[in-house]
Amino acid sequence: MNLTLHVWRQKNPQAKGQMVTYPAREISPNMSFLEMLDIVNEELVLKGEEPIAFDHDCREGICGMCSLVINGIAHGHERGTTVCQLHMRHFKDGQEITIEPWRAKPFPVLRDLIVDRSALDRIMMAGGFISVNAGGAPDANALPVPKEHAELAMDAAACIGCGACVASCKNASAMLFMSAKICQFAHLPQGQPERMDRVRKMVAAMDAEGFGNCTNQYECEAVCPKEISVRFIAEMNRDYWRAWL
Amino acid sequence: MGGFFQFAKSSIGSKVLMALSGAVLLLWITGHMLGNLQIYAGQDALNSYAEKLRSVAVFLYVVRVVMLVIVLTHIVTSVMLWVENRRARSSRYAYNNTVQATVGSRTMIWSGLLVFVFVIYHLAHLTWGQIHPEFAHLVQKLPGGGERPDVYSMVVLGYQNGLISGSYIIAMLCLWFHLSHGFSSLFQTLGLTSVKYRPLIERAGPVFATIVVAANISIPLTVLLGLVKPAVGGLP
Amino acid sequence: MINLDAHAPSGPLAEKWNRHRNEMKLVNPSNKRKFKILVVGTGLAGGSAAATLAELGYNVEAFCYQDSPRRAHSIAAQGGINAAKNYQNDGDSVYRLFYDTIKGGDFRARESNVYRLAQVSNAIIDHCAAQGVPFAREYGGLLDNRSFGGAQVSRTFYARGQTGQQLLLGAYASLIRQIGRGAVKMHSRSEMQELVLVDGVARGIVTRDLVTGKIESHVGDAVVLATGGYGNLYFLSTMAAGCNVTAAYRAYKKGAAFANPCYVQIHPTCIPITGDHQSKLTLMSESLRNDGRIWVPKKVGDKRAPNDIPEDERDYYLERKYPSYGNLAPRDISSRSAKEVCDEGRGVGEAGRGVYLDFADSIKRLGVETIKERYGNLFDMYFKITAEDGYKIPMRIYPATHYTMGGLWVDYNLMSNVPGLHVIGEANFSDHGANRLGASALMQGLADGYFILPYTMGHWLATAKLPKVSTDRPEFKQAEAEVDGKVKKLLSLKGKRTVKSFHRDLGKIMWEYCGMGRNDAGLKKALELIPPLREEFWKNITVPGAGEDLNTELERAGRVADYFEFAELLVYDALERKESCGSHFREESQTSEGEAKRDDENYCHVSAWEFTGVGQRPNLHKEPLAFETVQLGQRSYK
C-alpha cells in the first residue's frame, strides 16, 4: 500500500517546527507503524536527508519509549496498543496520516517526534516508591496480600510510563500516570506507611512541573496502551483529600 | 488555615472545591426546579410558596450569602483550573481528534459561563426587577385583605415574551451540557465511584440533566403555548 | 598478560559466600560518600546496583541511553524470576536451584558463582515484595509459583506476563528515590563510548550526550558495566532496538577479557518472521510451553490448515523425543528441534519456518478462562502482530536470538581482569554457562545488583588505594579525541548505503553461519565474509546530519561499527570450541541420536579472549572450570 505522511519536523528545542509531507511507498500490511517509518527513513538517508527522529526501543509494547500522535490520537486509533505494535493492516491504501509528537508544556520537543519526558521521572522522584533499602526485608510470605488486592495493584502497575495520557489530555494532565503508581502502592500493605505522604508529594510535584488538571474526559484511558482505568484517578482523588483531613 | 490554602491551590484540591460547590449548586438547582413546578398548581400555590420562602428574612440572607460564596468558589476554581490547563497545553495538535470525550465535557467552561450570565439576567429579571420593571413588583390581593408579591404573574407574563422565553430555553440547554458532565464528574473528582457504579454514575449525569432541564423548560413552553395562563384579572 | 584468577573463596561450596563476606574489607560508613562509582546501564542489574550502592552511602553516577532509567530491555522479560523458596513444598532447595542452573548451562559455568546466585535468590523475592512489586498471589494471599523450562519444581515467581517490567520498575523506584536524595546523579540519553584506564585501573568513561552530541569525561573510583547483551549482532533478535555491545566491546579493546562470546541463546517461542522489512522479533514467554503443545505435521510439505490435520498425523516431536520433560525441554534443545523439523521440510506458515504451539488440549482441560488468565496478554500480543486468534488456531512459533550468556570475564567479585572494572547482569559471562534457563536472567541481574556487587565493591574500594584523578589527565583527553574522531569519520563517509543495510547483511552472515547449528566450514566462511563487509561499511555508509545534534542515524552507525569488529570475535570463539555445549551446537560434535555432545576433556574451560587489534585473531586464555561438588553428566532431558 501507498500512504501520504504529514510529519512534524523540528531540528531542536529552540527551532520552530513545521509539518512536512512525505510519501510512504510499497508498505506491507504486516509492517508495524515504526517499520513503515523505518522504510521512509531509509529513503531519506539515501537521499542525504536527515531521517525523521522518533523514540523507540523494545518494539514490543512494553518499554514505553515510542510516542507518536497519529491522526490526533496518541499511539493511533487501535485501543490498547503502542505505536510499535500498531500494524499497517489497520490503515487503508492511499490514506493520509498525520504524525505529531506528544504535545504538552512539560514535554518540550527535543527533535522531530522526540520529546523530553523527564518531568514524569521527577513526579516519581517525589514519592513513586516504597522506602526500603536492600537487605532488610522480611520473608516475602510474611505479609499475605489478598489476591484481588494484588490483582488491582498489578492493573495499576502495568503503566509503561509512555506519557500517552498526557499527550491525549487536552489539559496535558499526568493524573492517570501518577494515579497508577499511587494506587499500585495504595492497594498493597507494603504501601500503607507512606500512603498519605506519597499522594501529597506526588501531586505537588505534578503541579510544579506544569501539567494540567483532570477534567474527567477520560481520553487518557482511551489511549492508554495498557488500558489503565480512570478508577485510579478517582481513588487518588479520594486519598488526596483524605490526606488533608 | 494555611493548610487549607495549600490544599485549595493544588490541582486536586481546587478540583475538589469545584466539585463540592458544584454539588451544592446541584442541590439548589433541584430545589429551585421543584419550587418552579408549583406553577402548575396555580397562582395561589406558587405565591404562597414564594411568600413562605421570604418570610424568614434571616434564613433568606444566610442562604443568599452562602450561595454567593458557593457560586464564587465554583467560578474561581474553575477559571483558575482552566487557565492552568490552557497553559499546560500551550501548543496544539495540527490534527485534532478525540476518542471518547463528550461535547459536554469539552465545553464546561463555556456552558458554565453562559449559565452564569443567564443567572445574573434571571436575577435581574425576577429578583431585583431591574431589567423588566413592567413585570416587577406585581402583587396579588388576598381575599382576606392584604397583599403579597405575585410571583406567578411575574413568571407567566414574562414568559409570554418570546425573547425572554427564548433566552431561558437557550440557557437551559447550556445547563444541560454542564450538568450532564458535571453531575457524573463530581463523583469521579471526589473519588466517590467504583468500577461497579461507574457506568451508572456516568449515565446518571445526562438523565439528571434531562430531568432538570425538561422540567424547567416546560414552564416557558407551556406559557408560550397558552397552557399556563395569566391569573384571572390580568395586570392590575 | 591477562590474569584469570577467579578469586573463588576456598571451603565447602555452601559456605564460600558467607566466608567471603566475612573476610572482605569494609569501607567505613563516613568514608563511603568519598568514593564515586560510575554505573553504565540501568536495567535490572545496573538499576539495582546504582540504587543499592547509593543506599549504602556511595556517590553514584548512572548512565543510560534511553530517556529514563525505567526503560531498559529487562522490562521485556515476561515469564518470571526463579528463587529457591520451596513455597510449593515440592522439594526445592538452594542446591537444586544451583544444580538445575549449572546443568542447564551444560556445566560451563563456575560452580562457586552459580551456588551463590541460588543462595541469594530468596532475598531478591523478599526485597522485591517489600518494594511493592505486585507478584501473583494465591487466594490465601501467599505468593504463587509457576513451573518453567529445565526444572522439575515450581519455583518461578511472576507478575502476570510482565515480571521483568515489574521488577525493573521496582529497581527504578529504588533508583529514583536515591536520585531524589541526591545520592545518584542520573545521566539519561547518554551513551558510553570509551573506558578510560589510568595506570591500568578503570577510572572513568567517556560518554556522548545523545541530545547535544557533547562528548564528556566522567571520573570515578570504580566503573560498573551493566550494559546487557549483544544479541542485536544478529540484526533480528528479541532485543530492544538500542541494545548494543559498544560499552563491553570498548572495555574489551582496553584489555578486558571477553569470555565465551559464542554462547548465544536462541529462544524457542518467538513469533515467526513475515518479511524483509522486519526490524525485530517478538518473543512470547516460554511459560506458554507449560500449557501449549508443540507439533508439526508428520508429512513433509503438509499445507493443510492446522485444525484440519488429524491427531495421528501430527508429530509432537518434543514429547516424543523427551518424554520426561516434553514441551518443557530447555531452550537450546527446543530451538534446535524446531530448526530440525523445519529443515526436514515440515515447518509451517508461509515460509515454512515455524512450528505450531497448540492450546486446544489445555483449553479443553482447563477452560478458556484459565488460559486467558494465565497468558491473556501473550495471546493479545500474538493477535496484534499476526492478526490470528491463538485460542482458536494454534500459534506459530520459531526460534530467535534472545540472550547472550557470553560477556566480559569477571572473577568471583564480579570484577573483570581490568582492576576497578566491574561487570554485572547479562554483560558479564558468569552464571549461565553455555545456556540460560528460563526465569534466571532476572534472578542474576538482581542478585548482582542488590546483593553481590554492593558487598564486593566495598572490598575493592577498601583495598585499592586509588590516587586522586581528574578528567584533565591525558588518558581522558585521548579517549575524548578518539570518540570525536570516530564521530567525525562516520559523518564524513557520505557513501551510498545505509547503516541498516550493512547491519542486516552482517546479521544474515551470523545467523547463517554462526546461528543455531555451527560447523567448521561455515564458521571459516563467516571469517572470510565479515572483513570485506566491514571494509565496505567504513567506505560506503552514509550518515546524514551533524555530530552536535540528536542524530539517531549516527548512534546506530557507532553501534553497528562495533558489531562489525565484535562479530569476528564471536566467530573465532565458536570455531575454537569444537565441542557442542548448551546453546553452542557444533554439528561435528553430536551423539548418534543427534544430541549435543560435550567434550569435557578438552573444553571444560572458560574461553577468555584478549584483544590484539582489529581484524587480527585475538589471544585465547583459558580459565579451567573445576567442579568440586557436581558430577559432570551428559545433560539428558529424556
Cell triple for B19: 466539585
In A, which residues are within 8 Å of B102 by CB distance? 217
Tally the residues of chain A. Answer: 245
Task: Please answer whether residues C133 and C167 qualify as being in contact, where contact means their C-beta atoms are separated by less than 8 angstroms.
Answer: yes
- CB of C374 within 8 Å of a chain A CB? The answer is no
pLDDT of residue C152: 86
- Gyration radius from chain A CA atoms: 20
C395 and C480, same domain (yes or no): no
Cβ distance of B11 and A213 shorter than 8 Å: yes
C392 and C481, same domain (yes or no): no
Query: Which sign does the torsion angle of CA C150, C154, C159, C165 carry?
Result: negative
How many other C-beta atoms lie within 10 A of the C-beta of residue C631? 6
Residue B213 lies in domain = 10-88+105-224
In B, which residues are within 8 Å of A73 by CB distance? 97, 99
Q: Looking at chain C from residue 81 to 110, which residues have their Cβ under 8 Å from any Cβ of chain A?
A: 85, 87
CA-nearest of B41, B33, B44, B48 to B218 is: B33
pLDDT of residue B144: 79
Please list the ranges in chain C whose pLDDT falls under 50.
Answer: none
d(CA C514, CA C567): 10
Cβ distance of A60 and C87 shorter than 8 Å: no
Last residue of a domain, one of C383, C399, C415: C399
C618 in any annotated domain: yes
Q: What is the largest CA-CA distance in chain B?
A: 71
CATH architecture assignment, domain A3-111: Roll (3.10)
**Backbone angle region of C445, left / alpha / beta, with phi > 0 → left and psi within -120 to 50 → alpha:** alpha
d(CA C587, CA C516): 10
Cβ distance of B195 and A73 shorter than 8 Å: no
B123 in any annotated domain: yes
pLDDT of residue B81: 96
- DSSP one-letter code for C74: G
pLDDT of residue B90: 87
C601 in any annotated domain: yes
C139 in any annotated domain: no
d(CA C115, CA C98): 5
Mean pLDDT of all residues belonging to chain A: 97
Residue A172 vs residue B231, higher pLDDT: A172
Residue C313 lies in domain = 267-399
d(CA A36, CA C507): 20
pLDDT tens digits for range B33-76: 999 999 999 999 999 988 888 887 788 889 999 999 999 999 99
The CATH code of the domain that includes C333 is 3.90.700.10
CA-nearest of B204, B185, B199, B222 to B106 is: B185
- Gyration radius from chain B CA atoms: 20
pLDDT tens digits for range B200-220: 999 999 999 999 999 999 999
Q: How many CA atoms lie within 13 A of C297 on its CB side?
A: 18
Distances (CA, A) of C474 to A76, C419, C479, C480: 51, 19, 8, 10
- CB of C282 within 8 Å of a chain A CB? The answer is yes
B172 in any annotated domain: yes
- CB of A4 within 8 Å of a chain B CB? The answer is no
C444 in any annotated domain: no
- CB of A36 within 8 Å of a chain B CB? The answer is no
pLDDT of residue C635: 67
From the list A48, A81, A153, the residue facing C384 with the nearest CB is A81
d(CA C254, CA A152): 49
pLDDT of residue B51: 87
Distances (CA, A) of B118 to B29, B170, B213, B224, C560: 14, 9, 14, 20, 68
Q: What is the DSSP code string of B117-161?
A: HHHHHHHHHHTS--S-TTTTT-EEE-TTS-EEE-HHHHHHHHHTS
Cβ distance of A120 and C68 shorter than 8 Å: yes
- Residue A97 φ then ψ, to 5°: -125, 125
C214 in any annotated domain: no
Q: How many CA atoms lie within 13 A of C6 on its CB side?
A: 22
The CATH code of the domain that includes B143 is 1.20.1300.10
Residue B141 vs residue C320, higher pLDDT: C320
- CB of A30 within 8 Å of a chain C CB? The answer is yes
Smallest CA–CA separation between A193 and chain C, in Å? 12
d(CA C157, CA C140): 16
Task: Please answer whether residues C632 and C600 qualify as being in contact, where contact means their C-beta atoms are separated by less than 8 angstroms.
Answer: yes
pLDDT of residue C234: 96
Cβ distance of A210 and B88 shorter than 8 Å: yes
Please state the ipTM of this predicted complex. Answer: 0.98
CA-nearest of C281, C262, C265 to C273 is: C281
C108 in any annotated domain: no
Residue C15 vs residue B146, higher pLDDT: C15
pLDDT of residue C277: 85
Question: Residue C354, SS3?
Answer: coil
C248 in any annotated domain: no
Last residue of a domain, one of C337, C369, C399: C399
Last residue of a domain, one of C399, C422, C439: C399
B116 in any annotated domain: yes
How many other C-beta atoms lie within 10 A of the C-beta of residue C308? 8
B121 in any annotated domain: yes
Mean pLDDT of all residues belonging to chain C: 95
C605 and C480, same domain (yes or no): yes
Please tell me the total count of domains within chain C. 2
Chains C and B share 3 or more Cβ pairs within 8 Å: no
Task: Please answer whether residues C554 and C545 qualify as being in contact, where contact means their C-beta atoms are separated by less than 8 angstroms.
Answer: yes
Q: For chain A, what are the domain ranges?
A: 3-111, 117-244
Please tell me the total count of domains within chain B. 1
Catalytic residues of C: 331
C607 in any annotated domain: yes
Question: Residue C34, SS3?
Answer: coil
In the chain, the amino acid numbered C53 is: L
pLDDT of residue C350: 82
Query: Which sign does the torsion angle of CA C253, C258, C263, C267 carry?
Result: negative
Smallest CA–CA separation between A131 and chain B, in Å? 25
Categorize the per-residue pLDDT at B233 as very low, low, confident or very high, splitting at 50, 70 and 90.
low
| Probe site for chain A from C87, C186, C279 (most A CB atoms < 10 A) | C279
Cβ distance of C496 and A45 shorter than 8 Å: no
pLDDT of residue B235: 47
The CATH code of the domain that includes C534 is 1.20.58.100
Question: Residue C208, SS3?
Answer: strand
The answer as to CATH 1.10.1060.10 being correct for domain A117-244 is yes
C480 and C602, same domain (yes or no): yes
Decide the pairing of beta strands A68-70 and A96-101.
antiparallel
In C, which residues are within 8 Å of A129 by CB distance? 131, 173-174, 176-177
C389 and C482, same domain (yes or no): no
